[in-house]
Amino acid sequence: MGRLADRVRWLQNEAKTAIAQGDYARAAALIDDAELLAEDVHGLVDDIEHRETDRLLGHAAGEAAAAHGPRPAVLPRPRRGLRVAIGASLAMSLALTEC
């Protein structure tokens, strides 16, 4: 996800440079590229989130079925990949709003 964030920063810097030089067509194309990248990342984050939710629900259901007595259910923390994906998505959103 770090590479995606780097790519968004590069697109943002290039768009700013293009705007400063008056090359609005290039700036618009760069912004379009950044928007497409953000949509792709959003889709990836959604897929990861759905898989993680399904896994956690399955884990919780298995724990509930295997429990012999009342115990508090302990769900594992979300994996690092999900947190990184959400962070990258937020970073790209911020990068796009700064243009």
Determine, yes or no, domain membership for 69. Answer: no
Phi and psi for 76 in degrees, rounded to 5? -70, 155
The long-range contacts involving 13-18, CB below 8 angstroms and separated by at least 24 positions, are 15/99, 16/99
Write down the pLDDT at residue 23.
Answer: 92
Give every CB contact of residue 34 below 8 A, 6+ residues apart in sequence: 8, 11, 12, 15, 92, 95, 96, 99
Distance CA 76, CA 66 (A): 17
Would 70 be classed as within a structural domain?
no
Range of the domain at 81: 2-63+76-98
Q: Does residue 12 fall inside a structural domain?
A: yes
- 7-41 pLDDT, tens digit per residue, is 888 888 898 999 999 999 999 998 888 888 888 88
Q: Is 68 a domain residue?
A: no
**Residue 65 burial class via C-beta count within 10 angstroms: exposed 0-12, middle 13-18, buried 19 and up:** exposed
Residue 46 maps to a domain: yes
What is residue 20's predicted lDDT score, i.e. its pLDDT? 93
Does 97 score more than 70 pLDDT? no
Task: Give tens-digit pLDDT for 36-72.
Answer: 888 888 888 888 888 888 888 877 777 666 665 555 5
Angle at 76 between CA 71 and CA 77, to 5 degrees: 135
- Domain assignment of residue 22, yes or no: yes
Q: Is the pLDDT reported for residue 6 higher than 70?
A: yes
Domain count, the chain: 1
